[in-house]
Amino acid sequence: MRRLRNVKIVATLGPASSDYATIRALFEAGADVFRLNMSHGTHDDIRARHVIIRKVEADTGRPICILADLQGPKLRVGTFANGPVDLIEGAKFRMDLSTVPGDVTRVNLPHPEIFAALEPGATLLVNDGKIAMKVDDCGKDYANCTVTVPGAISNRKGVNVPDVLLPVAALSEKDRVDLEFACELGVDWLALSFVQRPEDVLEAKDLARGRALVLAKIEKPAAVKAYDAILQVSDGIMVARGDLGVELPVYTVPPIQKRLIRGARAAAKPVIVATQMLESMIESPVPTRAEVSDVATAIYEGADAIMLSAESAAGKFPIEAVTTMNNVAISVEKDPTYRQVIESSRQIRRETIADGIVAAAREIAEATNIQAIATFSQSGTTAALVSRERPRVPVIALTPLMSTARRMALTWGLHCVICEPQIRLKGAVLAAVKAARDEGFAGVEDNIVLTAGVPFNVKGTTNVLRVAPCDERLISNVDPE
């Protein structure tokens, strides 16, 4: 099944999308990647959805990417003796380690690591930022605060500490169990929550042991500050705008989003834009104009993928949400301005032979009557470099490894095809032109550009650029064995 756009769509599965018919309909509507949210559902629920996705994959004959999103540590207040309490502006409020149920003056905060890191003047945010407090004084087991943004506080509401680099590991004990479960299950990507430093990503990668790639969720101010170092060790990035918009002024999120996307693209690592993209479609079959504009903006900025969360997991119109996102993407990518924006933001990077070959492949394809770029990739690295160029022609990513094909399905523009292992260039050329014809990208009279590495099936050996006719008789007459 050939998509008519390059940006990929991530659809989260949940109660509204757990059966075969719905998941297949989501795929056919445009979902390229399915997200399994480890914050919700049991391991049995996750396993059942994984089985269905792989059945859809087998039935449709297209590699499908699966992303497991780890919950991360959740910082929450305790309980209140008499239900929710209203905090007024200027009121004094204490958070401490006492397990006595709270009241209008105090509540338990069972996280000594927060108190250890706090300093007077720091900000505490409660219930997704609906309540804000300034720390007046603090110690190893308490923080006395003044309410600066009033509101109702109730049991187990989340706490954010935007001003402080918290001595909290990105992986909780639950996350470690979930990570091992997801890797054994066979997911393709892991999304790591609560990232503050590159060491968080390295720990997750060490536990994954190559069984899945690790994508860092940028959702905390500390991660924005350390972005370059985090990007260097991550396999991909998610711009998690929900928590970013809580812990940072909301008007700073759009420029941060743009910077994160450009950085990931320059590094040839996939980047997902997530959170509230079509939020109103949880309840409505039609999105708002502002939401459509938000989705379009992420596409214009060059994101590899755009993500649906509750819209497809728990909403009333999951298939309509994917269809809307697909239609917006097709419309944007047909716009001549889209090409202007994408090409003006292309960052020239010519550090390796592979960089030069993929850049030359794009230039040849765009300057002549070439129908597609075909790239052989053992690990997905070369295909990612081709994707970074954002060429005007389709990209066919060929690999003998299903695991690589699934992982590449997250990356912009890659149409992934499983092929036989190749040992000779002529065989690779024949496989590439056959894929181009069979997948509907070229006819027998057309030409394609091929990139590959000799010797084959060795990571990091991209060193061949070949313009090939799609007429196999011409290849047989010209190419050496």
The residues that are catalytic are 35, 76, 217, 275
Sign of CA dihedral 285, 409, 375, 435: negative
* Strand ranges (E), 323-410: 370-376, 395-399
Give CA–CA dist 346/341, Å, rounded. Answer: 9
Give CA–CA dist 217/381, Å, rounded. Answer: 21
Give CA–CA dist 363/391, Å, rounded. Answer: 8
- Element of type H or E holding 106: strand 106-108
Phi and psi at residue 141, in whole multiples of 5°? -135, 15
Give the end-to-end CA distance of the chain in Å, rounded to a whole number. Answer: 32
Return the structure tokens found at 251: 């008007």
- 304 within 8 A of 270, measured Cβ to Cβ: yes
Give CA–CA dist 77/106, Å, rounded. Answer: 10
Which residue stretches of 210-352 are H helix? 221-225, 227-233, 241-247, 253-266, 289-300, 310-313, 318-334, 336-344
- 386 within 8 A of 451, measured Cβ to Cβ: yes
DSSP summary character for residue 158: B
Which residue stretches of 5-137 are H helix? 20-29, 43-60, 112-117
β-partners of residue 139 are: 142
Return the structure tokens found at 351: 């550090």
Return the structure tokens found at 430: 């024949």
Give CA–CA dist 5/2, Å, rounded. Answer: 9
Nearest CA among 149, 96, 130 for reference residue 246 = 130
Strand-strand pairing, 462-469 and 447-453: antiparallel
Nearest CA among 405, 368, 409, 411 for reference residue 390 = 411
Return the structure tokens found at 110: 């069972």
DSSP summary character for residue 41: S
Residue partners of 270: CB distance under 8 A and separation at least 6: 215, 236, 237, 264, 304, 305, 384, 410, 411, 412
- 57 within 8 A of 63, measured Cβ to Cβ: yes
β-partners of residue 33 are: 10, 65
